[in-house]
Chain A
Amino acid sequence: MTATKRRPDGTRAPRTTPAKRPRGPDFGAWFLVLPALLPILVLSVGPLLYGIALAFTDAQSGRTGATRWVGTLNFQDLLHDTLFWDSFRIGAVWAVGVTVPQFLLALGLALLLNQPLRLRWLARALAIVPWAMPEVVVGIMWRLVYNPDAGILNETIRTLGLGEGRDWLSGLATALPAVVVVGIWAGMPQTTVALLAGLQNTPRELHEAAALDGAGAWRRFRTVTWPALRPVALAITALNLIWNFNSFALVYVLTSGGPGGRTRLPMLFAYEEAFRYGQFGYAAAMGCVMIAAVSVLIALSLVRRLKGDQDR
């Protein structure tokens, strides 16, 4: 519709309502949108639907025969696959065990970084270092820390006279807590930055008024800071839960799911099923179960959020 703007004599047609955007299908807009929409549809929405469809087939890697529909057979098998449910449980423990301490620690750090402390710029810069590191490097780094002989953790324990230390990542009891600590470390910066941004939006005048009225730090936090921070806190916590539940690289590098499957997160389980054993259909079914679990989580957090909005 903007193509008819030039008159035959070459002068520009006067725009009658320059501030008003044209209604109806806007081909200019579609032209701008298409370069992004095409790859999204072909390489993101398409594969997702394709993946869900695969869950109802017996697709395998390197097979010569045709792939057949098998209905819900994969899901029935999955129902009785105790190894998968063990892994699912580990995934849930991991996701909650990482997300909750991560949130509390990040909240503390964000509150500190929001204070007029000296060297705050340096602290802010250092606080985001874990974010910049490749997950594989984070895993390698913590393997060096946890190393039974050359690691600094055991050396510190020995120096402090607290015993001989242990092989943290291979111990049946210590492996999961050890990787959870790494998960907390790795995700701290994103959470801190989000909460810090939220804090900077809290009304300072309100803070001062509350302080003048004699409200203590905890009271001010509860009545002024938290209400303003709540939407951000809920959003980042929901995202963290999802990200952590779908996490792969960290644990792959740290333990590869060992010892004895104690740290085998669902993503590692599905990855092995798909790319070690070639069971594409079965692995896709696992992916569907994971997405269902995550969807329930999103729905719950949305409901809470809507309720929270009504309360106010």
Chain B
Amino acid sequence: MSALRTSGPARIGQYLALLAYLVFLALPFLWLVSTAFKPAPELASLHPTWIPRDPTLDNFRQAFAEQPLLRAAANSLVAAVAAALIAVAVATPLAYVTARHRGRLAGAATGWVVISQAFPFVLVIIPLFLILKNLHLVNSVAGLVLVYVVWSLPFALWMLMGYVRAVPAELEEAAAVDGAGRLRTLVSVTAPLLAPGIVATALFAFVTAWNEFFFALVLLKTPEKQTLPVVLTHFLGAEGVADLGPLAAAAFLATLPSLVVFAVLQRRITGGMLAGAVKS
């Protein structure tokens, strides 16, 4: 440890560098918040300030009046929750099998995870649009959920495989020796150990679906069906002449659920959520 002690000036330099990073990463977001609470005259002023001189909630009121934000939020919530639950429900068994039985199946599954990352969405969305149209699922949240499930599967699978590998196979073998059947082993030995990982994966899938824009833009045509990110773009209007205050207010609100989830997941993410997958 002592050999690695950093000298005083170097340490100060490190703090300064870290500060510069945090300024770069945080300031745009603080500007969004600041704009959201600024009254119209201040927004029109040629010398905008960081802290609103006369903070107001008018922008939020106006945002709700201008666009159906509540319905959009409800649509987003339904789509994201359904997608997350279904994705985890179908991905967990697959992740279990691929992580435990190394073989052709595991190879194919990880191969698909990699390949699916490379899809240009446009090549997939045209056929999906035609398929969903035939099923009368275009312009419906149900159709969007189907797309989100498949779209969030690769990452969910990848995360879950890491979590399954972290559960020692010896525990399951011990249960089998004690006479527990396969299902019994899964339910009373593996599942409880896997539960935190499953929750984290579901939360991650939720944020992914909540934030998604491209598929929602293509598949949802009428305003009453659209999700929050799509409705947010309506604030921009034609030629980008936007009403900045309500735009910022709505954008700020739309971010809150994702921020809350990330706050919950924070230690897991920076503490090496990817470490297990990276090691192999």
Q: What is the CA–CA distance of A85 and B97 in the complex, to the nearest angstrom?
A: 44
Are B29 and A141 in touch, CB under 8 angstroms? Answer: yes
CB-nearest residue of chain B to A37:
B94
Partner pick for B122 among A18, A112, A253, A283, CB 8 A cutoff = A283
B24–chain A nearest beta-carbon distance, Å: 7
Residues of B contacting A105 with CB < 8 Å?
21
B263 interfacial contact with A, CB 8 Å: yes
Known: A140-B248, A295-B118. A253 touches B236 (CB 8 A): yes
Picked from B112, B173, B218, B228, the residue with its CB within 8 Å of the CB of A40 is B112
Among A51, A131, A193, A194, max chain B CB count under 10 A is at A51
Partner of B211, one of A5, A134, A140, A232: A134
Residues of the A chain whose Cβ atoms lie less than 8 Å from the Cβ of B47: 155, 158
Q: Is B64 an interface residue (CB 8 A)?
A: no
A267 touches B122 (CB 8 A): yes
Q: How far does the alpha carbon of A29 sit from the alpha carbon of B121 in the complex, in Å? A: 31
Assuming A43-B146, A141-B29, is B118 touching A248 (CB within 8 A)?
A: no
- The interface residues of chain B lying within 8 Å CB-to-CB of A12 are 179
Q: Among A124, A200, A287, which residue has its beta carbon within 8 angstroms of that of B120? A: A287
Of B14, B97, B177, B212, which one neighbours A18 at CB under 8 angstroms?
A: B177
Interface flags for A11-46 (1: CB within 8 Å of B; 0: not) read 010010011010000101100110111011001111
Which of A19, A113, A280, A286: most chain B Cβ within 10 A? A19
> B15 — which chain A residues lie within 8 A by C-beta?
117
Check: B193 CB closer than 8 A to any chain A CB.
no
A33 touches B126 (CB 8 A): no
Name the segment of B53-61, B194-202, B272-280 touching the other chain. Answer: B272-280
Contacting residues, chain B, for A231 (C-beta < 8 A): 278
A109 at the interface (CB under 8 A from B): yes
B186 to chain A: closest residue by CB:
A32
| Residue picked from B48, B120, B128, most chain A C-beta under 10 Å | B120
- Taking CB atoms and an 8 Å cut-off, the chain A residues in 145-175 that contact chain B are 145, 147, 149-152, 155, 158, 169
B181–A133 touching, CB < 8 Å: no
Q: Is the CB of A33 within 8 A of B93?
A: yes
Size class of the contact patch on chain B: 35 or more
A123 to B43 CA separation, bound complex (whole angstroms): 31
Count class of interface residues, chain A: 35 or more
- Among A74-82, A92-100, A268-276, the one that faces the other chain is A268-276
User: Looking across the interface, which residue of chain A has its beta carbon closest to that of B91?
Assistant: A36
- Contacts A39-B153, A134-B213, A208-B4 given; does A284 touch B179 at CB 8 Å: no
Give the chain A neighbours of B252 by CB distance below 8 A: 137
Q: Are B176 and A19 in contact, CB atoms less than 8 angstroms apart?
A: yes
Residue of A whose beta carbon sits closest to that of B276: A197
Contact A151:B266 (CB < 8 A) given known A47-B131, A123-B18, A137-B232: no
Q: Of A36, A52, A145, A253, which is within 8 A of B28 by CB?
A: A145
Given A46-B127, A155-B47, A243-B117, decide whether A129 and B177 contact each other with a Cβ distance below 8 A.
Answer: no
Contact with A along B201-245 (1 / 0, CB 8 A): 000000100111110011000000000111011011000101010
Known: A141-B248, A143-B242, A155-B47. 17 other contacts (CB 8 A): A2-B181, A40-B153, A43-B146, A46-B127, A113-B18, A128-B266, A133-B211, A133-B259, A134-B254, A140-B235, A140-B247, A150-B35, A151-B48, A185-B25, A193-B274, A246-B119, A291-B120
